[in-house]
Amino acid sequence: MALTDEGADRTGLTVPELDPSRVEEHALADWRKPAVLAEPLAMGRALWCIAFQVKSFLDDLAARWGGRPHAWCEEKAGDRGGVRAPRGANVVYLAPHPDDPESAAVTLRLLSRRGCAISEAVVCLSPAGVEDAFLSGRPGGGDGEPETVKARIRRDEQTRAAELFGLSAERLVFLGLDESGSLDRPAGVEAVFRYLAAAAPDVVVLPCGRDSNRTHVRVWEIFRGWAAGEAARSRRPVVGLYHEDPKTLSLRDDLFVCFGGETAEWKRGLLRAHASQQERNLRTLGAGFDERILGVNRAAAERAGRTAPEICRWAEAFEIEVFDTTERERPWHSKTN
């Protein structure tokens, strides 16, 4: 049964289709590609290494669960004591909207440099986030239905940001769901579930769902529903890393990923790839999208305080949730945590 996708119909986009078999096919193409998987012995060794490295991260986290918040920086991510960052894990950034992945870009780069495979899935294109004034200021801005043009702008901006990050094109997927209602319908939920099932992530990074933005709330709820089912079914832990956003209402500080000025400028470049959001923020809030996100990171660095390495002027803050049915004695099973 082909699923309907009102968002794609209205925007006229061809790529974000919601036929679940295609979503799976697309995601599988990403995840079954490594040449190492062609050889059973190498595959077994690779899977063992991945499992081992993710296990180290979980073992460290369990041993030091009461010692949160933890801190990583690009030079030191737990290898000289503390909670070791995972190596070789499958990491998915599950983005409610375009531009969300940039909020966790420093952490995604740190994980990528440790051999983790990074993929990004953008659930909604959110054309409403582009102002009419932005369209009229662009050459050819009036070509086509405004909704279609706006959706394309957001898609292009995310594609550009992913290029700047260094993500290969096939690792960026647009699920094309419509923000107005499709995340409440079974077909929408199923599309996200099928993507996650095919990607089989060890770690999923996304905005914390305690947020005034309804799409952030729904995507978080859908992820948590999938992760709980996956952990129970496959007996394989799944880690949720929930990051802060300007609209986050509350976040338990479990992990800070600290960075300095050079990395902040790199992150600013990714944020500015979202020119429609940069302009909208400048006009409505008097500060650019880049300053807004880096301001959140500056405030997090202040909270990091003594936890953080000496030079910590900016930090991405995360709450950690572990979906784990493999062991009974893990501290995250306790209701008091």
Rule CB under 5 A: which residues touch Zn ion? 96-97, 100
Q: Between 83 and 94, whose beta carbon lies closer to Zn ion? A: 94
Q: At closest approach, how far in Å is the CB of 129 from Zn ion?
A: 8
Assess contact for 260 and 106: CB atoms under 8 A: no
Q: Between 206 and 322, whose beta carbon lies closer to Zn ion? A: 206
Q: At closest approach, how far in Å is the CB of 164 from Zn ion?
A: 19
Distance of alpha carbon 12 from alpha carbon 103, whole angstroms: 29
Q: At closest approach, how far in Å is the CB of 247 from Zn ion?
A: 8
Q: Between 60 and 100, whose beta carbon lies closer to Zn ion? A: 100
Q: At closest approach, how far in Å is the CB of 289 from Zn ion?
A: 11
Q: Which residue is nearest to Zn ion (CB)?
A: 97
Q: Between 84 and 280, whose beta carbon lies closer to Zn ion? A: 280
Distance of alpha carbon 46 from alpha carbon 41, whole angstroms: 9
Q: Between 86 and 129, whose beta carbon lies closer to Zn ion? A: 129
Assess contact for 24 and 197: CB atoms under 8 A: yes
Q: Between 90 and 277, whose beta carbon lies closer to Zn ion? A: 277
Q: Which residue has the tokens 């609209």?
A: 247
Q: At closest approach, how far in Å is the CB of 155 from Zn ion?
A: 15
Measured in whole angstroms, how far is the alpha carbon of residue 30 from the centre of its chain?
16
Q: What are phi and psi of 93, to 5 degrees?
A: -95, 115
**Coil, strand or helix: which one is 79?**
strand
End-to-end Cα spacing for the chain: 43
Q: Is 315 exposed, middle or buried (0-12, 13-18, 19+ CB in 10 A)?
A: buried
Distance of alpha carbon 302 from alpha carbon 8, whole angstroms: 42
CA-based nearest residue to 198, from 3, 24, 20: 24
Q: At closest approach, how far in Å is the CB of 48 from Zn ion?
A: 37
Q: At closest approach, how far in Å is the CB of 217 from Zn ion?
A: 11
Q: Between 236 and 292, whose beta carbon lies closer to Zn ion? A: 292
Q: Where are the beta strands (DSSP E) in 146-202?
A: 172-177
